[in-house]
Each structure stands twice: as structure tokens, then as C-alpha cells.
Amino acid sequence: RKEVEQDPGPFNVPEGATVAFNCTYSNSASQSFFWYRQDCRKEPKLLMSVYSSGNEDGRFTAQLNRASQYISLLIRDSKLSDSATYLCVVTRSSASKIIFGSGTRLSIRP
């Protein structure tokens, strides 16, 4: 079993829709959580950190559920430019390696 698991998708949704992804992690000692975005043939870029209290950045909302060991990403009013692969990232300590999920592909159609 992978330490960080994501539904690979693809999610194909119309522009303006709301879409949500989940990511599960197996190590209860995990401490920090992130969502990264990766465009085709580009490097990953940080989308947002995920805090225990949940956090929002414009159309994006991230949630953390430590009891069930999953994090989620909600995208509201999706735009064509949101089409990308979304990578769930988990770390065990600030000095440790970070572990990427395999990513969820999102395609927004006009």
C-alpha cells in the first residue's frame, strides 16, 4: 500500500462546476500537508498548505481530517485554467523528505 494515495482520475467537469479530491495517508505521524499543482510537462508548484482548521484561498478550500487520515481539496467555480494534475503531499517532519501522491488529473471542459 502506498503511503499517500489519490484517485488518479481523470476528473472531467464543465467550467463553473465544483470539484473535490481526496487524498489518504497511512502514517499517523505525518505532520504537514500540502496540495501542489503540476501542469503537463512542467514542474510541481505549491497550491496551498493544509492546516488542521482548514483553509481557503479564493476558490480553493483545503481540509485536513487527522482522525480519518485524509486531506481534501475543493475547487469552486472551476476555470479552464484549473486543468492540471493535483498532487497531494505529506511530510513527517520539517526536516524530512516529503511524499507525493501519484496525482489526480483534472480536465475542465468549456
Binding residues for another protein, per CB under 8 A?
4, 8, 32, 34, 42-46, 49, 87, 91, 94-103
Contact assessment for residue 89 and residue 98, using Cβ atoms and an 8 Å cutoff: yes
Residue nearer to another protein on the CB measure, 94 or 110:
94
**Cβ 16 to another protein shortest distance, Å:** 28
Nearest to 64 by CA among 86, 99, 96, 33: 33
- CB of 17 or CB of 98, closer to another protein: 98
Cα gap 52→18, rounded to integer Å: 22
- Please give the DSSP secondary-structure letter assigned to residue 82: G
Query: Minimum CB separation from another protein for residue 15, in Å?
Result: 25
Q: Residue 42 or 59: which CB sits closer to another protein?
A: 42
Q: Look at phi and psi of residue 8 and say left if phi exceeds 0, alpha if psi is from -120 to 50, else beta.
A: alpha
**What is the nearest approach in angstroms of another protein to the Cβ of residue 91?**
8
